[in-house]
Amino acid sequence: MALLEVQDLNTRFKTDDGVVQAVSGVSFDLERGKTLGVVGESGSGKSVTFLTVMGLLDPRHAEMTGSVRFDNQEILGLNTSQLRPIRGERIGMIFQDPMTSLNPVKKIGWQLEEAVLIHNDVPRSEARRRAIEVLEEVEIPKADTRIDDYAHQFSGGMRQRVMIAMALINQPELLIADEPTTALDVTTQAQILRLMEKLQNEHGMAIVMITHDLGVVAELADDVIVMYGGRIVESAQVDDLFAKPEMPYTWGLLGSLPRVDVDVERLEQIPGQPPSLLRPPKGCAFNPRCAYTFDRCREELPELRPAEGKSDHEFRCHLEEADRARIWTEKQAAMAASAESAA
Amino acid sequence: MSELLAVENLEKYFPVTRGLIFQKEIAQVKAVDGVNFTLNAGETLGVVGESGCGKSTMARCIARLLEPTGGKIVFNGQDITHLGRKEMRPIRRDMMMVFQDPYASLNARKRVGSIIAEPLEVHNIGSDADRKRRVQELLEIVGLSPEHYNRFPHEFSGGQRQRIGIARALSINPKLIICDEPVSALDVSVQAQILNLLKDLQRDFDLTYIFIAHDLNVVRHVSDRVMVMYLGKPVETGSRAELYASPKHPYSGALLSAVPIADPKLGRARKQIVLEGDVPSPINPPAACRFHPRCPRFVDGKCNVDEPLLTRVPGATDHDFACHFPLERWPMGDDELRHEGAFAQEATPAGSFD
């Protein structure tokens, strides 16, 4: 039984300009102890998907349908008090910007203790003891004195550690991390990723890693979902996705990454902008930016279908298997050639 | 190729003061502490380092948005180190900046047309009609459309805003453009668009760039030469080919190996230097080699006593490093990650993850 099962999730916002369909028909499972990478550009619906899962959207503005089962219990549509034994206790969350997620006028110790006190009937001294313990666990030096500091006294990386500590303090079974390293230096990013890996090994929690960087996913994830225009456009085990991505958007994401190991004279770029979810393009949402668009792409939304010989690798694209295999082989050859000519 | 910019021993110290009325200087932040380089016309210098290493301060000194404490900046054959506001004016026509945050660096109350035209107005170039034509041309050059002339910045995405910032920098045909983390706030797919655009513009308009970033891989695609900075000092400089083929300073190795590789097999198999902690405070920097408290190759009695100077890599034409125990191999082996000396017994090797 998977820890988190999401079935046909849809999220719509009513705005003055019309209805924004931010999430359309998203389904996936996440097992205990595994890491799911969720990749997409800004506006692809990846954050909204997990705000919906966590019940953090206001039902007065957002219309949510589908099913979210956490440990075999339906949690979509629960109200705040019903969610309390789950959210913050069994599911922890980390947000992108650690400065705006921490309260600037309260000591971080107070904020950590609060997370304990809301969910447990313990004295404050016990909560403080746990707060120091969890700060030590996220490798903050001199945790017993730094607990009385304010958020502004920490550097960006240290603040993100505090956020992780806060999410972990009640030992959740699932940690949802929304771009936890995007605002950080590469060196700090490496520290935070190693830390999350270590904590996962020690506590066996499941992690959802939301990011726009396929590199982060390659290092950390077991399974990957690629989102575009509010839909899953490809999902696979991490090795399969990088060995043979099946659709043009994933190719574009891979090509646009600056490579560490090779010199590339010119990065591949995905032209244009992500689609407006207010007025999404007809047919495949990626068709206006895709180099391989043909008539059918402009008319008909491709269904998620399994890749050849891999039932757990699904993608959306009208291109035939032979064409996709040929294009991917050509792309790999081109990348290798460009690396060679640059060297 | 002619030399466009020469920076000699540049220093910028900020005073740390105490007291409200009678301010007493109690310490100095040595944000930039002895930077040397020259830059030829048409070249790109990539400057890399973590937050707080002084790379932005250095850029601001060169653009003379800050007054340098010491050293010399020669731009286009003229010493501009201590020129006043008026004297700098004509020089500013040749020097523009592109900033990191495309949300904060564009005036939200102005239309795109007047944002891009502002440098033209400041320098009194052309009539109103000329300027409008020029702005529309610029919009097209950076990949926007002339219809965007009357829009406001909030109507654009992050990548498009960065294009507006670039159009503004291009407006007066500068010789040098200083890009301060121009792609750090952008999604990777948009980042590739902007990097390619900057390269195309350089080719078309014969631009010279100083390109600042915290990611050595981003810099790789635009730079001819690269300078790695740590706590106000360059620790390694070199041509792109030489520096990336065999980085010598452990800090360069750490920056390079910190970036995730988009290949699960390669990425998980390689050796990585994960630095501990943050950049130390520049108010009281570590003695001798400033990197020694975080360095995986630290040797007690040497690195904390004797400051390494920039020295030429044997056999290289343009590759200098400042380290007593440089990396021998690249990609790194186990030897590269070893602590040596007395320190090694008490500490686990910093960031040797296999």
A100, two tokens: 């705006």
Strand extents, DSSP E, chain B: 3-18, 24-40, 44-48, 70-75, 78-79, 95-98, 176-180, 208-213, 225-230, 233-239, 272-273, 311-312, 319-321, 352-353
Residues in chain A closer than 8 A to B330 (CB atoms) = none
Q: Give the per-residue pLDDT at A342.
A: 57
Start-end of H helices in A175-302: 186-203, 214-220, 238-243, 248-255, 295-299
Q: How confident is the model at residue A57 (pLDDT cuts 50, 70, 90)?
A: very high
Residues in chain A closer than 8 A to B267 (CB atoms) = 215, 218-219
Q: Give the per-residue pLDDT at B74.
A: 96
Residue type, A36: L
- Whether B248 contacts B321, CB under 8 Å: yes
Residue among B111, B113, B98 at smallest CA distance from B153: B111
- Which residues, 6+ apart, have CB-to-CB distance to A334 below 8 Å? none
Percent of chain B with pLDDT over 90: 58
Element containing residue A208 per DSSP (H, E): strand A206-211
For the cut 60, the answer to whether the pLDDT of residue B353 exceeds it is no
Q: Give the per-residue pLDDT at A4.
A: 96
CA dihedral A84, A90, A91, A93 (to 10 degrees): 90
What does the pLDDT average to over A292-297? 94
For the cut 90, the answer to whether the pLDDT of residue B176 exceeds it is yes
A145, two tokens: 């004195």
Residue type, A239: D
Nearest chain A alpha carbon to B351 = A191
Percent of chain A with pLDDT over 70: 97
Q: Give the per-residue pLDDT at B51.
A: 84
Taking an 8 Å cut-off on Cβ atoms, the answer to whether B262 and A215 are in contact is: yes
Residue among B211, B240, B222, B230 at smallest CA distance from B35: B230
A35, two tokens: 């890491």
Taking an 8 Å cut-off on Cβ atoms, the answer to whether B220 and A215 are in contact is: no
Asked if A66 has any chain B CB less than 8 Å from its own CB, the reply is: no
What does the pLDDT average to over B209-215? 92
Taking an 8 Å cut-off on Cβ atoms, the answer to whether A218 and B267 are in contact is: yes
A337, two tokens: 């050639």
Q: Give the per-residue pLDDT at B350.
A: 41
Residue with tokens 């203790």: A113
Q: What single string gives the DSSP state of each residue in B83-103?
A: --HHHHHHHHTTEEEE-S-TT
The 10s digit of each residue's pLDDT in B251-291 is 999 998 888 888 888 888 888 888 877 788 888 889 899 99
- Which residues, 6+ apart, have CB-to-CB distance to A147 below 8 Å? A107, A108, A109, A112, A128, A131, A132, A135
- Whether B18 contacts B197, CB under 8 Å: no
Rounded-to-integer distance, Cα A193 and Cα A178, Å: 13
Q: How confident is the model at residue A260 (pLDDT cuts 50, 70, 90)?
A: low
Highest-confidence segment of A190-204, B19-33, B224-238: B224-238
Strand pairing report for A91-94 and A62-70: unpaired
Highest-confidence segment of A256-265, B102-111, B267-276: B102-111
Nearest chain B alpha carbon to A274 = B157
Taking an 8 Å cut-off on Cβ atoms, the answer to whether A186 and B259 are in contact is: yes
In A255-274, the residues whose Cβ lies within 8 Å of chain B are 255-261, 263-271, 273-274
Nearest chain B alpha carbon to A197 = B353
From the list A218, A264, A269, the residue facing B262 with the nearest CB is A218
**Which residues on adjacent β-strands are paired with residue A91?**
A87, A174
Taking an 8 Å cut-off on Cβ atoms, the answer to whether A269 and B259 are in contact is: no
Taking an 8 Å cut-off on Cβ atoms, the answer to whether A190 and B272 are in contact is: yes
Rounded-to-integer distance, Cα A39 and Cα A339, Å: 26
Half-sphere exposure of A298 (CA within 13 A, CB side): 7
Taking an 8 Å cut-off on Cβ atoms, the answer to whether B199 and A194 are in contact is: no
- Whether B103 contacts B33, CB under 8 Å: no
For the cut 70, the answer to whether the pLDDT of residue B24 exceeds it is yes
Rounded-to-integer distance, Cα A119 and Cα B308, Å: 54
Element containing residue A93 per DSSP (H, E): strand A91-94
Rounded-to-integer distance, Cα B34 and Cα B11, Å: 5
Sheet with B95-98, strands from edge to edge, namely B95-98, B176-180, B208-213, B44-48, B225-230, B233-239, B319-321, B311-312
From the list A41, A213, A256, the residue facing B260 with the nearest CB is A213
For the cut 80, the answer to whether the pLDDT of residue B199 exceeds it is yes
Q: Tell me how many degrees the CA angle A244-A249-A250 measures, rounded to the nearest 5.
A: 35
Residues in chain A closer than 8 A to B278 (CB atoms) = 155, 157-158, 188
Sheet with A18-30, strands from edge to edge, namely A18-30, A4-15, A62-70, A73-74
Residue among B168, B176, B121, B126 at smallest CA distance from B144: B168
What does the pLDDT average to over B311-331? 90
Residues in chain B closer than 8 A to A258 (CB atoms) = 191-192, 195, 215, 217-218, 220-221
Asked if A188 has any chain B CB less than 8 Å from its own CB, the reply is: yes
For the cut 50, the answer to whether the pLDDT of residue A314 exceeds it is yes
For the cut 60, the answer to whether the pLDDT of residue B344 exceeds it is no
Suggest the residue from A42, A186, A338 to mutate for an interface test with chain B (most B CBs closer than 10 A): A186
What does the pLDDT average to over B45-49? 94
Percent of chain B with pLDDT over 70: 94
From the list B244, B255, B264, the residue facing A238 with the nearest CB is B264
* Coil vs helix vs strand at B307: coil
More confident residue, B103 or A131: A131
* Coil vs helix vs strand at A211: strand
Residues in chain B closer than 8 A to A180 (CB atoms) = none
Q: What is the ipTM of this complex?
A: 0.83
Residues in chain B closer than 8 A to A214 (CB atoms) = 188, 262
Q: Give the per-residue pLDDT at B3.
A: 92
For the cut 60, the answer to whether the pLDDT of residue B341 exceeds it is no
Report the largest interatomic distance among the alpha carbons of chain B, rounded to a whole angstrom: 73
What does the pLDDT average to over B54-58? 92
Residue among B331, B59, B46 at smallest CA distance from B214: B46
From the list B187, B193, B261, the residue facing A212 with the nearest CB is B187
Taking an 8 Å cut-off on Cβ atoms, the answer to whether B188 and A256 are in contact is: yes
From the list B160, B265, B275, the residue facing A187 with the nearest CB is B275
What does the pLDDT average to over B101-118? 91
Q: Give the per-residue pLDDT at B338.
A: 66
Q: For each of the domains in chain B, give its residue range(s) and CATH number, in order of start.
A: 1-94+175-223 (3.40.50.300), 104-173 (no CATH), 248-353 (no CATH)
Q: How confident is the model at residue A156 (pLDDT cuts 50, 70, 90)?
A: confident
Half-sphere exposure of B214 (CA within 13 A, CB side): 20
**Which residues on adjacent β-strands are paired with residue A152?**
none
Asked if A104 has any chain B CB less than 8 Å from its own CB, the reply is: no
- Please provide the average confidence, as pLDDT, over all residues in chain B: 88
- Whether B215 contacts B259, CB under 8 Å: yes
- Whether A209 contacts A217, CB under 8 Å: yes
Rounded-to-integer distance, Cα B127 and Cα A160, Å: 51
A83, two tokens: 């969610």
DSSP secondary structure code for residue B149 in this structure: G
More confident residue, A337 or B317: B317
- Which residues, 6+ apart, have CB-to-CB distance to A264 below 8 Å? A258, A335, A338, A339, A342, B221
Nearest chain A alpha carbon to B214 = A185
B154, exposed or middle or buried, with CB in 10 Å at 0-12, 13-18, 19+? Answer: exposed
In A210-249, the residues whose Cβ lies within 8 Å of chain B are 212-219, 238-239, 242
Suggest the residue from A99, A187, A241, A286 to mutate for an interface test with chain B (most B CBs closer than 10 A): A187
Q: Give the per-residue pLDDT at B120.
A: 94
Residues in chain A closer than 8 A to B261 (CB atoms) = 215, 218-219, 259-261
